[in-house]
Amino acid sequence: MEQNTLLAQRIGQARPLTFSSHAQTRLKSRGIDFSAELMDRLSGAVDRAATKGSRDSLVLMQDLALIVNIKNRTVITAMDGKSVKDNIFTNIDSAVIA
């Protein structure tokens, strides 16, 4: 395993993902519930983005799009498939499909 990957995994294990109040409101209003499996997938996506030096990433998984601040491991906003359509994502430097 690459040293950067190992470091990112250790950092990720030490710091769990958090959700901003805005993201929490979006998840609640859109009826999006995160299972343990989805959280694991999201955490893995954030870890992979961190190894590439990403700062703010669009993470696409299942029928969800999430904007995540990689350094702070914070989900900034979340959208379901209906909300993603015809949307423009700005202020991101990477995208991860998980």
Residue from 52, 44, 42 nearest 19 by CA: 42
> Model pTM?
0.81
Long-range contacts of the stretch 9-15 (C-beta < 8 A, 24+): 9/47, 11/47, 11/50, 12/43, 12/46, 12/47, 12/50, 12/73, 15/73
Cα separation, 32 vs 39, whole angstroms: 12
Average pLDDT over residues 49-57: 97
26 or 1: whose pLDDT is higher? Answer: 26
Task: Kindly tell me if the per-residue pLDDT of 53 is higher than 80.
Answer: yes
- In this prediction, residue 12 has a pLDDT band, given cuts at 50, 70 and 90, of very low
30 or 46: whose pLDDT is higher? Answer: 46
Average pLDDT over residues 1-7: 54
pLDDT for the residue numbered 15: 80
Strand partners, 66: 59, 78
pLDDT for the residue numbered 74: 97
